[in-house]
Amino acid sequence: MPVILRKEYNVLHKKGGCLPKLPVEDKLYITLKYLLEYRTMDSIAAEYSACKGTICLAIQWVENTPAADGAFALPGKKKLKRKSESIQYIVVDVTESPINRPKKNQKDYYSGKKTAHAENAGHNGAEQPANYRRTGGQRQRA
């Protein structure tokens, strides 16, 4: 795998350009840490003194490069559906990952307005004089 990554790196930087923030071997090692140890990108970024975006791009590059080369291509659905003697097990990663979703009854409480809570309530916490009226968020004398 390092040979494939190094070959693709040389193709990308044949004409020169900016030096990468991380060498190819570090990118591979970062990807393995991310996939095998379930570490966050933030913790890996802190270890390598890089930003989270650099780590994310490195992981994506290492994941996509061998697949594009064809050396590490997985079999397609049709081949997996056919009965085969060589495939003994199929492993599926079912790791839980939290997803932030709205509560089921949130629509009952949310009208869609994007104004401040105090304006929705009709007052800003202080008592208003009787001769003030509200028009479009601005107070004017009646």
pLDDT in tens, 125-140: 555 555 556 555 555 5
Q: What distances in angstroms separate CA 125 from CA 118, 119, 120, 121, 129, one per listed residue?
A: 7, 10, 12, 9, 13
Residue 140 pairs in a beta bridge with 133
Distance CA 117, CA 120 (A): 5
Instruction: Give the tens place of pLDDT for each residue, 38-95.
Output: 889 999 999 999 999 999 999 999 988 887 877 777 777 777 677 666 767 778 877 7
* Structure token pair of residue 140: 């004017």
